[in-house]
Structures are given as structure tokens and as C-alpha cells.
Amino acid sequence: MSNQQATELCSETTEIPFIGRKLESLDDIPREIADRRLHVEFGEFIAPEKSETVRNIPDVLETPEEFSESAKKVGLEDTRGILGWSTDLEAPAHVLKGDVGREIATLIHEDLHRFTHPETMRKMHENPALCDTYEGITEYLTQQAAEGLHGHEPGECYPEQVESARQLAAEVGEIELRKYFFQHEMADEVGKALKRYTEEAKIEKTA
Ligand SMILES: [Zn+2]
């Protein structure tokens, strides 16, 4: 029993290599945990230079006042109910300060946006129904990386969209969905399924 436990502990620690980044402020801790969880789950799909870009341009954690001020600068007037926002790979995401578990989950969610392949991102913003699906996929992936995270309650963000994303993943395959999200591969296969989901959403809304 004790041998078994020792082996498990050993294999767990070797999965996460020591990265050697400095922890100099309290905010570095949620950022570091988010980064590690993201890369344990999705590292093989993310180009190393993109990971470096996000680490060199770290996300910012803001008080409610700072958060609404910086949001206003990009035209986001109402931040009620919003926990984070981001624009692209080269700009930091903005995350509302709060419980550490929630901060980490939000950092993962926003970094997933930063890591989304630009072409996939463009497709997803072509119409409002796809925007919703894209948020669902992002939160679905967030929940995978945030699994078991203390202080994080999965299911609070985009519950219906996450359910659609789960169905989409079951249909096209987890790996294929990840390839589409991060690398814009499998575009035909995933694109076809997405188109169908969008049409179904439209029918539901008009029904
Ligand atoms: Zn989002």
C-alpha cells in the first residue's frame, strides 16, 4: 500500500517538470497554477512559442474598479457578471480578483481564448450562435483543466453551452475538437458538426 502510494506520488510529480519561473507576487501563484494545469491538459496542442508569449505578457488580476476601468477602454461598458475578458494572444487577459479557485479557473478560460487558433477564432465569431458555442467549448475545456480544483464550482459559467460542447466533443472526438480549437486542424469535420449545431440553435430560438 505504502509502496503503491509512493509510486503514484512519484509519477505525478514527474509529469510536471520544474519550469523555473519565479514567483514574486501573490498574483503569480494563480497564474502559475493556471499555466501548469493548462499545459498538463493541452500542452501537446499548444506551440511552445505561444506558451512563451502568454508567459511574457502575463494576464492581469484586477480589483472591481480596475477591472471595469480597463474594460471601458476596449468598449466593454457593463462588466456585471463578467469574470474575465481577453482580446488575443498578444494582449494580456483581464481577470477579476476574487477567490483563488475562481481566479485560476477564469485564467484558464481566458488563456484558452488567447491560445485559440486565429482562424478558428475568426470562424467562431462569424455569427452569434457560433459565438455562444465557442464560449461553451472554451468553458468545457476549462472544466477539464480545472478538474478537482479547490474552490472552483464547475457549471457556473455557460451551463447550456457547455452541454452542447460536450455533445459536440462526443460526436467529433475529444482530440479532434482540441486540434480544431488550438490548431485549426480537422476544420472540415468539426466545421460540418458546428454548422449543424448552429442551425439547430437557430431553429430552437425561432420555435
Ligand atoms: Zn470566454
How many whole angstroms from 189 Cα to the centroid of ligand 1? Answer: 23
How many whole angstroms from 88 Cα to the centroid of ligand 1? Answer: 12
DSSP E strands, the chain: 60-62, 84-85, 94-96
Say what the pLDDT of residue 80 is. 92
Structural contact between residues 76 and 113, judged by C-beta atoms closer than 8 angstroms: no
How many whole angstroms from 10 Cα to the centroid of ligand 1? Answer: 35
How many whole angstroms from 181 Cα to the centroid of ligand 1? Answer: 13
Task: Report which of 137, 129, 136, 117 is spatially closest to residue 187, judged by C-alpha positions.
Answer: 117
How many whole angstroms from 72 Cα to the centroid of ligand 1? Answer: 17
Could you give the CA distance from residue 84 to residue 109 in angstroms, rounded to a whole number?
A: 8
C-alpha cell recorded at residue 172 = 467529433
pLDDT by residue (tens digit) across 70-85?
999 999 999 999 999 9
pTM of the model: 0.87
How many whole angstroms from 206 Cα to the centroid of ligand 1? Answer: 25
User: Which residue type does 165 have?
Assistant: A
Q: Between 17 and 87, name the one with better pLDDT.
A: 87
Could you give the CA distance from residue 149 to residue 128 in angstroms, rounded to a whole number?
A: 31
